[in-house]
Amino acid sequence: MVNTNEEGQLMGTKKITVFSERCIAAGNCYEIAPKYFDQDPEDGTVLRLRADAEAGDESLVARAAATCPVAAIELAE
Amino acid sequence: MTAEPVTTWRTYPFTRTSPTEPPPELAEVRRAEPVAKVRLWDGSTAWLATRYEDVQRTLKDPKISSDTTRPGFPQASATAAEFRKGQRVFVRMDAPKHDEHRLMLTADFTVKHVRDYRPYLDAMIDELFDAMEAKQAAGGAVDMVEDFALIVPSRVITRLLDLPSEDSEFFLDRVKTSMSLDSTPEQAAQSGADTLAYFARTIDERSTGDGQDLISRLVRDRVITGQLTSEELQHMLHLVLVGGFDTTANMIALGTLVFLQHPDQIALLRERQDLVPNAVEELLRYLSVAHHVAYRQAKEDTRIADQPVASGDSVIAPLIAANHDPEAFPDPERFDITRDARGHVAFGYGIHQCLGQALARVELQAVFCKLFERFPHLALAAPADTLRFRNSIIYGVEALPVTL
């Protein structure tokens, strides 16, 4: 049985937000965290694969967010 | 009438004193005046950002423009100005038009798509290495630039664009002339015109038929539909050419030189093949070959750190300065293939970050996986101080004589 908070977010995880309108398909996020991000075959822009960063993956997702050249990825505090 | 006070600012670009290291003046300026005013070739002034954080923020600032048609837009030299003025392509546009145009190409440059080139690259590299060995065995002098570094990316780009392989010589020559700070503006303009005319013919040829190559698809999906003019597509193809040729070629040649200067790093690389991707990131950081890019102009009042920047002011945010900021990369002058260099900005930052970066990575990883495995005793065949370096928008070496 999984624990979720009021927003339906899994406990011990952090929410990932993607602003795909900013995306210019650099692909750094896919390269760094392919478990969480992919590139749309149509135009290479970001596809978010999971809504939350699992416990232990925060720094990986944070790194993907930091290397995004247009700040299209945010990891909740 | 009061006389204007005479102020002398440092002239930019700064001069290198050692071939593979950044100009020492960058570190001086970063320490003393992280947002400094500099004077350019034509007497105009610009703000120079040298800290990693400031370079990133500047390149991401939507109030700062890349549109070279704006009056007073700064350039590195007269030739660079001529080259940039002639460009009618998304690298010189702002959002939203930039994004609209760039995204027409991005499907062909995704990480997954370019990784498919690896087997082709591996076979090509082995073949080129065989040819180099044969050349040396026959008493010839091997040059890493002519015999290897220029060939790898030129073949990849001609394959990507599905152009006849015998045309790569033509491109090599024209790109070199267009990009060199030593070419006259007229030479640069002529080279650019030659390349555009070539692409105009190719576009015409591929207007009929159902070719699945990139150019045919763009002609069908974007030109015939009226989203792009033929001229705009010519400029896009020219950009793909220019973006992928001497950048990668120079990284291969200079990367080889950097490794030869650090034999302990060669030994480590040979022991730990798993370090190849990281080694490539460190080479990109350390060399930052795109050393005369990231010239911008503020199109609204903005700031860089505490420095107010007025609309119309010129701004330069050199990638090489950011990549050698000790705040971002401790002991930045140390070439260390184990350091975490992934946050470098050698491919730029913001909306214009290099379209071909994934392809560059695949090529460089393929090369550096194999180079020292095949040639563990690779050495310079000429004294290091006889090497000639390229004064161009992209830094490089003219020739790199080696023994295998």
Q: Please, which residues have CB within 8 angstroms of residue B331's CB and are 6 or more apart in sequence?
A: none
CA distance A31 to chain B (A): 7
List chain B domain ranges. Answer: 10-403
Residue A26 above 80 pLDDT? yes
Chain B interface residues facing chain A, Cβ-Cβ under 8 Å? Answer: 59-60, 99, 102-103, 106-107, 109-112, 342-343, 348-351, 353-354, 357-358
Predicted pLDDT at B199: 93
Q: State mean pLDDT over B84-107.
A: 90
Residue B243 above 70 pLDDT? yes
Q: Please, which residues have CB within 8 angstroms of residue B188's CB and are 6 or more apart in sequence?
A: B79, B82, B83, B177, B178, B179, B180
- Bridge partners (DSSP) listed for residue A16: A75
Residue A37 near residue A51, CB atoms below 8 Å = no
Q: Which of B112, B281, B285, B359 to mutate to test the interface with A (most CBs of A within 10 A)?
A: B112
* pTM: predicted TM-score of the whole model, two decimal places: 0.93
Torsion of Cα atoms, B206 then B212 then B215 then B219, to 10°: 60
| Closest by Cα among B366, B358, B341 to B284 | B341
**Domain at B10-403, CATH homologous superfamily:** Cytochrome P450 (1.10.630.10)
3-class state of residue B401 by DSSP: strand
Instruction: Tell me the range of A47-61, B69-83, B160-174 where mean pLDDT is highest.
Output: A47-61
Structure tokens at B389: 């370096």
Mean pLDDT rounded to a whole number for chain B: 92
Q: Please, which residues have CB within 8 angstroms of residue B204's CB and are 6 or more apart in sequence?
A: B230
What is the ipTM score, two decimals? 0.90
| Closest by Cα among B196, B213, B93 to B161 | B213
pLDDT, one tens digit per residue, over B12-30 is: 999 988 889 999 999 999 9
Predicted pLDDT at B5: 54
**Cis peptide, bond prior to residue A69, ω within 30 of zero:** no
In the 8-state DSSP scheme, what is residue B289? -
Q: Which residues in chain B are closer than 8 Å to A70, comparing Cβ atoms? A: 60, 350-351, 353
In the 8-state DSSP scheme, what is residue B43? S
Residue B91 to residues A4, A44, B256: CA-CA distances in angstroms? 45, 18, 29
Backbone angles phi, psi at A38, to 5 degrees: -135, 175
List chain A domain ranges. Answer: 14-75
Q: Which CATH class is domain A14-75?
A: alpha beta
